[in-house]
Structure 1
Amino acid sequence: MVRVLPPLDPVRRSIERVIQRWPDAVSSPQPKEREQIAQDMCRRVREWDWKDITTQRIASAAVAVFDAERCNRDDLALVRDFYLAEISACQPGPFLDAMLGVYIDSFASELVHTQRLARAIETRANDLGPRHSRLLVAVPDLLKPDLAPVRLAAIMLAADDPFQAVRELGLRSPHGAGLMQSTHIAFIAGISKKLGRAEERQRLFNWLMPKGGTVLETGAASAIEALLAIWRIESPPEALRQDLSETIVAAYNDPRLHRGGIWSGFDPELKQILLRWLTRQHMKYFCDMVTATQDSHMWGPRRDFWLQLDEDKRIDEAWVAFGASARRYAQHNFIRNDRQTRGQQFGSQQDRGGSTSLLIMRIGNKIVVDGCHSYKTHIFRQDDPMAPKLYQSQYYCDDIMRSARNSKPHNSISAWSQWVLQHV
């Protein structure tokens, strides 16, 4: 009688679900606990005391011993030697697999501990568990520190969805530390000159902002810098410029409002490119809203004047404060998708029942405030304590009007435009 094995697909799917829920056999100790764990392990090795300790505890302590803060410390050399000797002598099983995880998470190709771990694990490559064995088959140079990031980056550069491609290799934390940070650097180096093409930009966004995953933070600044660098000389078409700025701001916040995160050490010249895009975008939002809701014959020339001034790069910064009705109109008519809702922020104009919206601009050392309907244009020196500040959450148009020493109505567009040019 021949027995036929049942289909194994359900079993494989169950295993995959378990791995996804508990991807690591070894728990990573909290940073504040690591020094104590490392010192305890050092004492046990020195005294050869293995009472009341499990294999999992030993493997977990390796995370602390080989992390960036401790991997080169002389006082822990004895413990590192112990782990390397155990890799050579241990039976196949959880400890050996855990040490490959330590190699990946603590990876720094130029450091001795990475090179020693790679050599030790390579001698036991045939004894690794199924998941890690598949990873070594997919990336044969994984245990060659000088090649591993480049080989992984090559896989990412060939995949439509690099994040998912890395997960399918068996690396459960594509945005993790160590090897994946080095791979990220190699990936950005490989994709940076191709980002003028739509498919390459989408590949980058799939990596930085994976569906169902969290946005990459560490290393993201270099990726966004590479994206903006493509447009140093020539600005992208308006629709693309808006899409790029919305995508960046939705993921990493508006650099005008948030100084931290990826913006803290960002290249100032490249940040200025994004700020120019955001200025243009706010100019457009204000002009489009007034065009759609106001039928004054004087608005068309005013709109053209401001947009031309922006085109000539005379307007350094711009911020919109929508009145309540205009904000509702903008949300219903200008917001195209959820990403834009998350990425776009405006001020709110509170006076006159929210019927008036404001455009606040910095032109050189002047702050210029224009408003819809019959609201005058007001010009302040930037150092005037009464001058409204850009990027505030709330504005009061009547207070601005009363504070201004220099203002002009629009009833003669020619005289008004000359007045603006004269005073900015």
Structure 2
Amino acid sequence: MAFDLRTLSRRDLRRLAGELWADPRCDGIAPAVVEAAVAAGASSLDRTLVTAYLRHFPRGHCAFDFLRGAAAHVAERRDWPWRQRGQDWCLWDPEAGPDSVARALLTGPDSAPVLRDAGLEADLAQGAFTAAALDMACLRAGEAQDKSARQMGEKLIDLVNTAPVSPRAGMLVHGLLQPWLQQSPPDDYKDRLSAFLLTRYGHPKLQSGQWQAIEAEMPGQGATRLVGLLTGWLIRRAVRQFFAVVGATTNDPQQWAAREAFWKSYLDDDAIDDAWFAFGRQAELAARGMVENGSYGQITGSGADPSHSALILSIGDVRIAEWSHNGSCRFWNREDRQAPDPYNKQYFGLPLRAMNGGRGYEDGFAAIPHQSGWERKFASFIHRHSGRRHPLYGEGLWTRSWY
């Protein structure tokens, strides 16, 4: 782009200085445009330079230092609010500025007064400087420990729900989960975190592409561990939600309590690798309001009553379909072509209630009824085919005639 900046009207210079940062064709003239705007000495151009810095905050731009230095200079040369704001909030320091706003956002009762005091109002509230401050708030929340970890995490969720701009997804996930790699949050807060991230970004097993992009945005080296932590929470959440839903609607609470105790023992022992549940049409209606949309599958077709539900588990090499009503629990080897995959959105009733698999018993299929001593039979089968012991029933007591 070759032209004489001196031929531009003040209006055109103001427009160019404010908007060139998003157009790579203007990279070569950016320093000259900034110098011309400063040299003009007009209050309207000074305001343009300040707002361009805060709106675009183009830290990767080749002329960023020119813009930052110009914004700091024009802010100081006038008796106007930007002079004091720049001093109070370190606005012209690209590291300290976002950090000072971030700390205030994490400790204040509301984001609006903080942003207003820093001059980040109207369109600047949605600008890149504000977004950088929220990214920094995520980093600060990720450093928190003990009780402050929950306090900052809850504040971060509130900020994201109310702020006019959002941090990057990877930064937010990092800020919310990083404190819990070495300690476990209280169950109620774990549920809040899980529900928030599930609603915002989907299940890591279902939206794997999106979560790979989120991992790529995370700082540090622990991204995969953080996503694994959340996935583990969601597995536990799925099992507990399934039992809560069925427990609220069952006609045989005593029988259901025994099944719940059996499977939750594996859960508490971190022996369950995947968990997902599916509802028949009537069961889905009964469960509304108790589970999040999209966090379960549907059972369709013949072979299963519409009022029934199924819990689909993976324990080592064993894939399991436990049912909400009387009947046999099904066990497959996970490589069996007839084994149900977790995280499907739809299941057909007949395969889920199969009485044989693509493989025989020795290779990992059985349909075991809930009859006397079923807990030891289940534990025996699972140990035989996965190597994992039940915390209470151990290896069970294997007898071929059981199957």
Structure 2 residue corresponding to 1:159, chosen from 108, 129, 139: 108
Report what 1:251 is aligned to: 200
Superposition deviation, residue 369 in structure 1: 1.1
TM-score normalised by structure 1 residue count: 0.75
Output the CA distance in 2 between the equivalents of 1:120 and 1:397.
68
Superposition deviation, residue 249 in structure 1: 1.5
> Structure 2 vs 1, CA of residues 220 and 91 (structure 1 numbering), >3 Å: closer, same or farther?
same
> Structure 2 vs 1, CA of residues 182 and 243 (structure 1 numbering), >3 Å: closer, same or farther?
closer
Output the CA distance in 2 between the equivalents of 1:296 and 1:70.
70
String of CA shifts for 1:240-290, please: whole Å, max 9, x gaps.
221221122222222222124455242111111111111111101111222
Structure 1: runs of 5 or more not aligned: 1-41, 336-340
Output the CA distance in 1 between the equivalents of 2:126 and 2:320.
44
String of CA shifts for 1:268-321, please: whole Å, max 9, x gaps.
111111111111111011112222322064432222111101111111110010
Output the CA distance in 2 between the equivalents of 1:297 and 1:106.
62
Report what 1:410 is aligned to: 370
Report what 2:235 is aligned to: 279
Structure 2 residue corresponding to 1:358, chosen from 298, 310, 313: 310
Aligned residues: 362
Q: Alpha carbon RMSD of aligned pairs, Å?
A: 3.0
Percent identical among aligned pairs is 21
In 2, are the aligned partners of 1:368 and 1:378 still within 8 Å (CA)?
A: yes
Moved more, 277-286 or 185-194: 185-194
Which letter does structure 1 place at the counterpart of 2:310?
L
TM-score normalised by structure 2 residue count: 0.78
Please state if 1:105 is matched with 2:55: yes
Q: How does 1:57-72 map to 2 (within 5 A)?
A: 57-67=12-22, 69=24
> Structure 2 vs 1, CA of residues 355 and 225 (structure 1 numbering), >3 Å: closer, same or farther?
same
Which letter does structure 1 place at the counterpart of 2:2?
R
In 2, are the aligned partners of 1:380 and 1:404 still within 8 Å (CA)?
A: no
Output the CA distance in 1 between the equivalents of 2:297 and 2:337.
20
Which letter does structure 1 place at the counterpart of 2:278?
A
Superposition deviation, residue 330 in structure 1: 2.2
Output the CA distance in 2 between the equivalents of 1:164 and 1:317.
44
Q: How does 1:374-385 map to 2 (within 5 A)?
A: 374-385=326-337
Superposition deviation, residue 89 in structure 1: 1.8
In 2, are the aligned partners of 1:161 and 1:203 still within 8 Å (CA)?
A: no
In 2, are the aligned partners of 1:157 and 1:187 still within 8 Å (CA)?
A: yes
Please state if 1:314 is matched with 2:271: yes
String of CA shifts for 1:162-194, please: whole Å, max 9, x gaps.
3652245321344532x3344334323333232
> Structure 2 vs 1, CA of residues 255 and 128 (structure 1 numbering), >3 Å: closer, same or farther?
farther
In 2, are the aligned partners of 1:409 and 1:416 still within 8 Å (CA)?
A: no
Superposition deviation, residue 127 in structure 1: 6.3
Output the CA distance in 2 between the equivalents of 1:243 and 1:157.
18
Structure 2 residue corresponding to 1:230, chosen from 179, 189, 195: 179
Q: How does 1:192-341 map to 2 (within 5 A)?
A: 192-194=142-144, 196-197=147-148, 198-210=150-162, 213=164, 216=166, 218-261=167-210, 263-266=212-215, 267-294=223-250, 295=252, 297-332=254-289, 334=290, 341=292
Structure 2: runs of 5 or more not aligned: 216-222, 358-364, 387-403
Q: How does 1:124-135 map to 2 (within 5 A)?
A: 124-125=74-75, 132=82, 135=85
Report what 2:98 is aligned to: 149
Report what 1:85 is aligned to: 36
In 1, are the aligned partners of 2:319 and 2:339 still within 8 Å (CA)?
A: yes
Output the CA distance in 2 between the equivalents of 1:259 and 1:221.
14
Q: How does 1:34-49 map to 2 (within 5 A)?
A: 42-45=1-4, 49=7
String of CA shifts for 1:350-391, please: whole Å, max 9, x gaps.
243412101111222332111111232222222323221211
String of CA shifts for 1:21-80, please: whole Å, max 9, x gaps.
xxxxxxxxxxxxxxxxxxxxx33336x554xx771x543433553348467x5xx1x452
